[in-house]
Amino acid sequence: MVQSLPTRAQVKEEETWNLKDLFATEEAYEQALKTVGKEATEFANAYKGTIQDAASALNALDEYRKLYEQLIPIGTYASLAASVDQTDDQAQMRDSKFSSMAAKISSQTSFLMSELSELSLEVLQDASAQSEDYAVLLKDIIKKKPYQLHPEVEKTLAAFSSTFEAPYSLYNTTKLVDMEFPDFKVNNENYPLSYVSFEGSWESNPDTAKRRAAFNAFSAKLRDYQHTTAKTYDMHLQMEKTTSDLRGYPSVIDYLLMEQDVDRSMYNRQIDVIMKELAPHMRKYAKLLQKIHQLDEMTFADLKIPVDPSYEPTVTIEESKKYIDDALAIMGKDYTDMVDRAYSERWIDFAQNTGKSTGAFCASPYGNHSYILISWTGSMEDVFVLAHELGHAGHFYNAYKHQSVFNGDASMYFIEAPSTMNEMLMANHLLKNSDDPRFKRWVLSSIISRTYYHNFVTHLLEAAYQRKVYEIIDKGGNVNATILNELKRGVLEEFWGEDVIINDGAELTWMRQPHYYMGLYPYTYSAGLTISTEMTKRVLKEGKPAVDDWLTVLQAGGSKNPAELAQMAGIDITTDKPLRDTIAYIGELIDQIEKLTEEIG
């Protein structure tokens, strides 16, 4: 039975992350905030109006880098403290105070990018040739030169940056603070419900009556907040549209893709090919679930049931370490040493508590180690999720050792490749170490229901829906709850066809994801997993040479664009071959699950 969640103060310290690695005391944090504010003013006074040539540009960038590197741990500390407890007023106020300070600093220092943009192409290329540390930043400035506004306009926009982040904060407040879920009833017995318990437990509960009742109760509460959440989202969209128009981009999609360093054909291909070619495989999987569980009908609320729920191993936090160490041993000692440190040095926040952000994420501040948020339920799924987040940690651990702060972060298009790679290594390690058909079926179904469902279905359907939203916004339109519900339902019906009943409440799924406030993020999950699927095949076939190639890719960070990074790994993502190969591979896995089901009987 799912229990009500404890408060943050009631959880064990060893299950929380140690933010003291960023700042030992609150006083140290406050002092750092004060110091960086003072130094930002000094920087502006010293360098504004001085950037005339390559030498003065590099001189200013050197000083700006010091300031930027000071801001990173301050912002990370404020954000992470708030993310584990949205009900903590002090943490929320600290985060808000930092956002205001960051907006002020951004406004003060906006002259730097404006003055750099006004330099000639030859001077920018000269500066780039002289300093590898700033090559990516300067290339970005050259690319965005046509879209740069008057320095005073840039300064004003920067001053409003914390206001532009307000819709996302409002979304989180609505979702994690104001939304309280009532108990739901099955056979005269009450069961507690929360965001975490629904997504971590009830959504995949093998008891059909409880699972569907939980879905209905969860959806009913979402429906109470649909209009507020839609208005919040529309506010975010209109700000993106205004910025895109001001800068002269042909569309919001083009504006958002500019940050990812990929062209529109790569974006559209990922959505169109999967919507059309993966759908038949996933419908087959849905029908298999219906047959195994002898369901009267297959509904949207049933799609997360495990193939074999009675076989789901439970895993302690300590046991998860051995699973992950063994699975990732192929990556080499330096990599697994990092994993061990993540456990021993408390990089990971395992606790379940009220007010904690849902899902999981990895924050990697430059100059420090990563921090991973997860709500540990003890299911094997958690091990896959943690391996995924440690993939992000491993990526930044390698990149930041070899790249400057401006070259360290890879494009969002590539960002999910190292994380999903770890999930694939975990699954293949488990498969290799057993001949039991039931265990093999459990592992294969885990790959489908978790790794691929999450990245190639859940997030891809978000992406297909998101593209429809931006098509409305690009035509000058607005959205409300009715429109968003219709769009989401339409995408779900298109993908699942007549094989899955899209029951009431499924259309509200758009309310559950924070990704819509992060640009064109959802489609990149499937892009990353396409790369990691192909790379995993290489690693399993070739061993160390392929691993060495992959580590070199991780170390490159953001010094190359996604197509170049994939090329270093021997994968050509400028064609549809890797994507079609991955979809075929998913089909093969589902065929194997079906065959093993018949064998097990």
pLDDT of residue 3: 58
**DSSP secondary structure string for all residues of 171-216:** HHHIIIII--PPPEEETTEEE---HHHHHHTGGG-S-HHHHHHHHH
Q: What is the largest CA-CA distance in the chain?
A: 77
Helices (H), 84-207: 89-118, 121-130, 135-144, 151-159, 161-164, 166-173, 195-200
Model pTM score: 0.86
| Segment 522-566, tens digit of pLDDT | 999 999 999 999 999 999 999 999 999 999 999 999 999 999 999
Q: By the 8 A CB rule, do 557 and 341 touch? A: no
Superfamily name and number for 257-313+380-600 = Oligoendopeptidase f, C-terminal domain (1.10.1370.20)
For residue 484, give the 3-state DSSP assignment.
helix
Give yes or no on whether 1-162+346-378 and 180-224 have one common fold.
no
pLDDT of residue 112: 96
Question: Which residues of the chain fall below pLDDT 70?
Answer: 1-3
Phi, psi of 432 (to 5 degrees): -65, -25
How far apart CA 172 and CA 79 sit, in angstroms, is 12
Q: Give the position of tokens 């940050």.
A: 259
- The amino acid sitting at 383 is V
The domain locations on the chain are: 1-162+346-378, 180-224, 257-313+380-600
Q: Give the position of tokens 């046509």.
A: 146
How far apart CA 205 and CA 199 sit, in angstroms, is 10
HSE of 177, CA atoms in CB hemisphere, 13 A: 15
pLDDT of residue 1: 43
Helices (H), 248-352: 252-260, 264-277, 279-293, 317-328, 333-344
pLDDT of residue 579: 94
pLDDT of residue 213: 97
Q: Which CATH number is correct for 180-224, 1.20.1250, 1.10.287, 2.40.50, 1.10.1760? A: 1.10.287
Superfamily name and number for 1-162+346-378 = Oligopeptidase f, N-terminal domain (1.20.140.70)
Alpha carbon 146 to chain centroid distance? Answer: 30
